Amino acid sequence: MRPIIRRDGLATATGGDVMVRMLQEFRELQEESKEQFTRTETALRTVHMKCRVLFRKAQRMADRVHVLSEQVSAFSQQVSAFSQQVSAFDEEMNEFRDNMGELTTHVSTLTQEVYGIKTAQTRMFGQMGRMVHHLADAQSSDRKRIDVLEERMDDPGEN
């Protein structure tokens, strides 16, 4: 592969400019990844908190229904059919509350898993960035050596 000749006649390092552009693009992707990570983490926290609020409200509602069920049970000798329906409703509410608790647990676990994935991705991008920086430094060093060799070859005192 022939070196690229600049206007002043000196060759530039092959691929150096490409490495610099790739490094810039990588940095932009890394920033976008960080922003996406922040947005995702915020959304997951919001979902987690909303589920917790819904779970607490469902618990309070179930507790109120349970109190109502107890009051109606005292009055149930006159309205036993109604009491049975309220009791069944109370059981359904308890089951609903249990299901909401499980959902909250699953969402919390999912939040932790996504956070772990995002953390691993961030570390991976950091390692890739260090690697690209190292390659760019090596390319820069090669470019300097080429420039020195060209100066020595073009020096009229040596011929």
Tens of pLDDT, residue by residue over 25-42, are 888 888 888 899 899 889
Tokens of 31: 């920033």
Contact (Cβ atoms closer than 8 angstroms) between residue 51 and residue 103: yes
What is residue 10's predicted lDDT score, i.e. its pLDDT?
47
3 pLDDT above the threshold of 80: no
Residues 100 and 46: their CA atoms lie apart, in Å, by 16
Stretch 9-14: mean pLDDT, rounded?
49
Model pTM above 0.85? no
What is the DSSP pairing of strand 11-12 with strand 4-5? antiparallel
What is residue 29's predicted lDDT score, i.e. its pLDDT?
85
What is residue 1's predicted lDDT score, i.e. its pLDDT?
45
Tens of pLDDT, residue by residue over 102-151, are 988 988 898 898 888 889 888 988 898 889 889 888 888 988 888 888 88
Single-letter amino acid code for the residue at 137:
D
What is residue 107's predicted lDDT score, i.e. its pLDDT?
85
Contact (Cβ atoms closer than 8 angstroms) between residue 4 and residue 14: yes
State the alpha helices, DSSP H only, in 4-79: 16-74
| Per-state percent for the chain, helix, strand, coil, to nearest 5 | 85, 5, 10
